[in-house]
Structure 1
Amino acid sequence: MSDPQVKGWCPGAYRPMMSGDGLIVRVRPRLGSIPADKVQGLCDLSLTHGNGILDLTNRANLQMRGVRDHQAVLDGLWDLGLLDPTPELEQRRNIIVAPVCGPHHVSIAIADRLITKLNALPDLPAKFGFVVDADGPRQLSAASGDIRIETSVSGGLIVRADGSDLGQAVTESEVVNAAVALARWFNETVNPDIRRMAPHLETTPLPHCFARETFAPSAPALTPGPLTNAFAYGVPFGSIDALALKTLLTRSKAGHMRFAPNRIFILDGAAITDMQAFATSADDPRLNIHACPGAPACASASVTTRDAADILAPHLKGRSLHISGCAKGCAHRASTDVVAVGRDGAFDLVRNGHPWDEPLQRGLALDRLADELELLT
């Protein structure tokens, strides 16, 4: 089977997306962080005007599900200081920031200056984004992005086009203008049918000025557990119960909540608080599972995915699992050890592949699927 096409845009606060459980309203945390009291307010909005479920997305954003009164949510986000002045500025502020800061907070400082230059950017595709990852070894090498601001192998800064092994060496005063220049080059040379940098580089050579310096190695992946004056929590399946999050913030006495693209958030200044809703260690089997919202939240799905994920987690034996409500595979685009694909209320089983690949078995009930996972070698 071929890779299904996905939507060319993502929901925002001003431009929500309709799903089976209501509107999806996405909030992009400024500089990758939100003060804890404002997160509490966001939870209250979700409980009052949505279905009480928040998604932590692959681009380290929060989105409210099941929204019934969009204007009330916009008003609430504005009061909380979590809404951009215009829809255009919101779309352009598609920036992921390294979640663990170095002693000089270089990534935050660069991202803050980049935000002030957003009006200088050309018109870019809706999913075109920036990754600011300049606090030592790269934390966001697996994160989706098109223009990357990173540490070079020599310890300086580079601006790198995603898909290129080399970037442009820059000083801290030059970095934002260099990123804008690279965005303009993309805009001036790209085929309108191509929306991302890496596919563009497959057919269009990158000018030598943008490709001279190698990047630093990657840092170990961030996992749940203690950090310096902070604690990292995993979000099983990327789904957060708003009431559980409010409870965690209150009990932990956290000051800020920072967001990472691998379904992890960090609470600064927080006391360690163990709650079943969140993963507190890297060996939690739920962290090896990717699961879309499933039915009834998504009209394309014919199975409940996250309840199934909880049932299947003990049977994984260290394997990665993707439970997809349909063959589109929205929750995870990469291959996993096992894939369970919803079809007509049952599951098709794929090994070492994607939801759109040919299954080994079709039409399995959930209990039968659990038995098959036990038998896999």
Structure 2
Amino acid sequence: MTAAVRGWCPAAWRPMAAGDGLLVRIRPALGRVSAAQALGLAAAAARFGNGEIDLTRRANLQLRGVGEADWRPLVEALVALDLVDPDPAIDAQAGLTVAPDWRAGDDTHRIATDLLALRGEWPALPAKFGFAVDAGRSCRLSDTPADIRIERSVEGGPMLRTGGQATGVALAWGEEAAAAIDLARWFRDTGGAASGRMARHPVPLPGWAQGDARPAQGGPLAAGPHPLGALYGLPFGRIAADALTALVDRPDASAVRLTPWRLLLVEDAAAVPVPGLALDPADPLLAAHACVGAPACPQASVATRDLARRLAPHVAGLHVSGCAKGCARSGPARVVLTGRDGRFDLGLAARAGYPPVEAGLDAATLLARFGAC
């Protein structure tokens, strides 16, 4: 019997079948992988998969192209690296995204560590459900999907906010993790499984979880030097195993932190070039979005990334989607190309799958349209 399942939220112990093999997702604790772990991960990706590693919008890693017979040896290797929990039930729990610029002992690190220490108390939640801890001086994860957020408020204290709400409730220091778990239990007990996500849950929040606290202003990090090391951009969120090896196999790289913005933060490292990765935040490939496309995704009817690479220098705000699902970018883009029946529909200021302004275009026509020939 195959170990694979179909769906869009794979895990290590329950991989997803894709067009290029099994897709195996890992969620390192605190979004941090030591240099030694990263080297082991790169070796495992090349040995058991096709050597391609994706960084997701929730700061997870996905190993691609894993063969059916190679899946269990891969997971065993990842367990040995302490990148996957040996208990499949723990591995399948809700995700936790942590603001990647935390420092040891600060509020983000403390709260995330508290939450992880209480994993045995987390209720069973839908596969897409997730927590976010973002309690630094500037909130970083406002545009990152999450159902329960622990943030720093504009007043400077901790706060709890749910997905879809602009405001939340102020908390006392030290009660953040327990409050997040209590709210997750409330979601479960009020039938949240039917909704799947907090923002779609029709039941009003309990009174104790309502408030007018607002999160501190901030925003995502950008490629280039950083006080903690160097941020490298991954075009389309993908890194090859040999590039990951080159990134960390040097004396000044101590660990890699995952981000939800297609960036890897290499701790203690100088911002020196690595082939295939970007250090310039203005690199047009870092602003373009494209899913894996055909043939790697069975949902897609078109190849996407070669076209996106050629168009990116000519089209600001580009999204090339293999189908109407829009996995690479859920929000609208200035120019969106949606695959349909082997051709592309062109949309402007729209999401993938929205009614197009022009339909049935081929790649050559689009390259000529935007001056990329």
TM-score, normalised by the number of residues in structure 2: 0.93
Q: CA 1:44 to 1:183, structure 2 compared with 1: closer, same or farther past 3 Å?
A: same
What CA distance in whole angstroms lies between the structure 1 residues aligned with 2:62 and 2:161? 29
Letter in 1 for 2:53: L
Q: In structure 1, what is the Cα distance between the partners aligned to 2:24 and 2:173?
A: 34
| 1:3 aligned residue | none
Task: Give the corresponding residue for 1:302.
Answer: 301
Q: Does 1:41 align with 2:33?
A: no
SS in 2 for 1:219: coil
Unaligned runs of 5+ in 1: 1-6
State the 4+ residue runs in structure 1 displaced beyond 6 angstroms: none
8 Å contact from structure 1 (residues 285, 314) kept in 2: yes
- Residue 137 of structure 1 is matched in structure 2 by 138
Q: Secondary structure of the residue that 1:130 maps to in structure 2?
A: strand
**TM-superposed deviation, 1:350:** 1.2
1:222 aligns to what? 221
Tell whether the 8 Å contact from 2:20 to 2:297 is kept in structure 1 after alignment: yes
Q: Which secondary structure state, in structure 2, belongs to the residue aligned with residue 214 of structure 1?
A: coil
Contact 1:26–1:63 (CA<8 Å) still a contact in 2?
yes
Judge conservation of contact 1:315–1:370 (CA < 8 Å) in 2.
no
Q: Which residue of 2 aligns with 1:205?
A: 204
Inter-partner Cα distance in structure 1 for 2:39 and 2:366: 39
Aligned position for 1:326: 323
Distance 1:85 1:25 in 2: 15
Secondary structure at 2:184's aligned position in 1?
Answer: helix
Over aligned residue pairs, what C-alpha RMSD do you find?
1.8
| Contact 1:248–1:273 (8 Å) recurs in 2 | no
Work out whether residues 93 and 115 of structure 1, in 8 Å CA contact, stay in contact via their aligned partners in 2: no
* 8 Å contact from structure 2 (residues 157, 171) kept in 1: yes
CA distance in 1, matches of 2:166, 2:276: 39
Match in the other structure for 1:341: 338
Deviations 1:154-196 (A, max 9, x none): 1111122222233232233211111111111111223543011
1:213 deviation in Å? 4.3
Equivalent position of 1:101 in the other structure = 102
User: Secondary structure of the residue that 1:347 maps to in structure 2?
Assistant: strand
Q: 1:104: how far off?
A: 4.0
Write out aligned runs for 1:62-77 (5 A). Answer: 62-68=61-67, 69-77=70-78
Please tell me the residue identity of whatever aligns with 2:175: E
**Cα shift readout 1:42-67 (whole Å, capped 9, x = no counterpart):** 01111111001000001000110000
2:174, 2:284 → 1: CA distance? Answer: 44
Shift of 1:358: 1.5
Give the equivalent residue in structure 2 for 1:4. Answer: none
Alignment partners' CA distance in 2, 1:117 and 1:166: 26
- Counterpart of 2:29 in structure 1 is 30
Any residues of structure 2 matched to 1:1-377 within 5 Å, and which?
Answer: 10-68=9-67, 69-102=70-103, 104-190=105-191, 192-200=193-201, 203-251=202-250, 253-316=252-315, 319-374=316-371
**C-alpha displacement of 1:130:** 0.3
Cα deviation for residue 73 of structure 1 reads 0.3
CA shift, 1:205, in A, is: 1.9
Deviation at 1:9, TM superposition (A): 5.4
Please state how far the C-alpha of 1:207 moved relative to its aligned partner: 2.2
Q: Secondary structure at the match of 1:257?
A: strand
Percent identical: 43
Gaps of 5+ in 2: 1-5
Structure 1 letter corresponding to 2:331: A
After superposing the two structures, state which structure 1 stretch, 32-41 or 212-221, moved more. 212-221
Alpha-carbon distance in 1 for matches of 2:217, 2:167 = 15
Contact 1:102 1:135 (8 Å CA) reproduced? no
- Greater shift in the superposed pair: 337-346 or 234-243: 337-346
Deviation at 1:103, TM superposition (A): 7.2
